[in-house]
Chain A
Amino acid sequence: MCVGLSAKVVRIADGMAMVDASGAKREISVQLLDDVEPGDYVMVHAGIAIAKITDEDDHEADEVMEALLA
């Protein structure tokens, strides 16, 4: 369910954004998110951005593990 793609926002106009995932580009809707700017990373599902995200999962895993062991 819900294949997600993390992608970088390249440009935005009228609630639509061009996103880039390692060179694969596609126009998606960013209407549901506030304050998205070029350079931001978003999670894309079925042609719409569902969340603003940080690009990498390294830092996240460290934090979660630290909290677990605290």
Chain B
Amino acid sequence: MTQDKVTLAMGAGGKQTAKLIEEVFAANFDSPLLTADDAAVLEPPRGRMAMSTDGFIVSPSFFPGGNIGKLSICGTVNDLACMGARPQYLTCGFVIEEGYPMEQLREIAASMAKTAAEAGVALVAGDTKVAGRGQVDGVFITTTGVGEIVEGAAPAGAAAKPGDAIIVTGDIGRHGCTILLARDSFGIEADVTSDCAPLWSSVEAMLKVTHDIHTIRDATRGGVGTVLYEIASQSGVGVELDASAVPVDPAVGGVCRMLGLEPLYLACEGRLVVIAPAEVAPALVEALRGCPHSKGAAIIGKVTNEKPGWVVLNTELGTQTLLPQPTGELLPRIC
């Protein structure tokens, strides 16, 4: 029997569950570490390890440039990468709404497998639950990852120092903009795709240049602006940005102008904020530009000891102003 929709029976633990796992997950997640036993049995990482977990809900679950599956791998892989950790093992938990199309589920699993392979991480365990219609919105995924920290690397949010350069690994706000457009709430069309990408290769390239990288953060929800405010607060430093140096895709800029939004607060899913001594920054940018997902890397500002806790913008008029702090839900400003 082939079914084209997920049913409650598929989550009941019987034959149908086995079939769902077989058809969708086992077919895609082909790893000797992933077995039918109750837990994965693994070699521990050498040295120190990093561990992270993240839940993913995104509506719509498919969007230009990716889907929730790709997102769920990138999110956790990037969290590990930000600690200087090579992603090693990943587990995933699915909560699927009754009636969800099998075809889409297969596509999500295929994206996860592809992205995991690219990131060099093994999917070693998984769980599937089916919830009644309306209890979840389509599909929710939680991933947990373990990575091996490269010896000598110790990036941290509290380690930014005055004089450091601030790098962003590409143009900002594309994921947030893509989702906003995909929801079609505002009738706007633009050729924008999500920046969703696994970034270990970019971090690895930087660590080959130097281990002296003070902070790496992935700018997800809240965007680059929120991350910079977090770092400014954690490190007790000021952040000074050159407004004109922050890379923004023209179409993303157009959407933002249309809706009165600030690109610095739009979500990214494949962009890092990197803080490192000014003298190594150009070499880091060069290394980043040689990687597939950070070709647009640029230095956007510096860390200062003035105005600790604040993000200051150098404006096009040569004046300085503060970046307004984020206030939660992004609402278009019209009147």
Contacts and interface: CB of A to CB of B under 8 A. Distances in A.
B251 A5 contact: no
Given A23-B190, A26-B188, A3 B254 contact: no
B191 A3 contact: no
A2 B334 CA distance: 6
Contacts of B189: 24-26
22 contacts: A1-B335, A3-B333, A3-B334, A3-B335, A5-B257, A20-B254, A22-B253, A22-B257, A23-B249, A23-B250, A23-B251, A23-B254, A24-B188, A24-B189, A24-B253, A24-B254, A24-B255, A24-B257, A26-B188, A27-B187, A44-B258, A46-B335
A53 interface: no
A22 B334 contact: no
B258 A24 contact: yes
A67 B252 CA distance: 37
Contacts of A22: 250-251, 253-254, 257
Interface in B139-190: 186-190
B260 interface: yes
A33 interface: no
Interface in B204-256: 249-251, 253-255
A23 B191 contact: yes
A24 B190 contact: yes
Contacts of A44: 258
Contacts of B333: 3
Nearest to B333: A3
Interface string B285-314: 000000000000000000000000000000
A8 B188 CA distance: 14
Interface of B: 186-192, 249-251, 253-255, 257-258, 260, 333-335
B186 A26 contact: yes
Q: Which residue of B187, B192, B253, B258 has the most chain A CB atoms within 10 A of its CB atom?
A: B258
B254 A21 contact: yes
A45 B254 CA distance: 14
A41 to B, nearest CB: 14
A45 B257 CA distance: 11
A24 B236 CA distance: 38
A22 to B, nearest CB: 4
Given A2-B335, A3-B333, A3-B334, A25 B188 contact: yes
Interface centre among A20, A21, A44, by most chain B C-beta atoms within 10 angstroms, is A21
Interface in A4-31: 5, 20-27
B334 A46 contact: yes
Contacts of A46: 334-335
Contacts of B254: 20-24
Contacts of A1: 335
Contacts of A23: 190-192, 249-251, 254
Contacts of B190: 23-25
A21 B335 contact: no
A20 B191 CA distance: 12
Given A24-B255, A26-B187, 17 more contacts: A3-B333, A5-B257, A21-B257, A21-B258, A22-B250, A22-B253, A22-B257, A23-B190, A23-B192, A23-B254, A24-B188, A26-B186, A26-B258, A44-B258, A45-B334, A46-B334, A46-B335
Contacts of B334: 3, 45-46
A1 B190 CA distance: 25
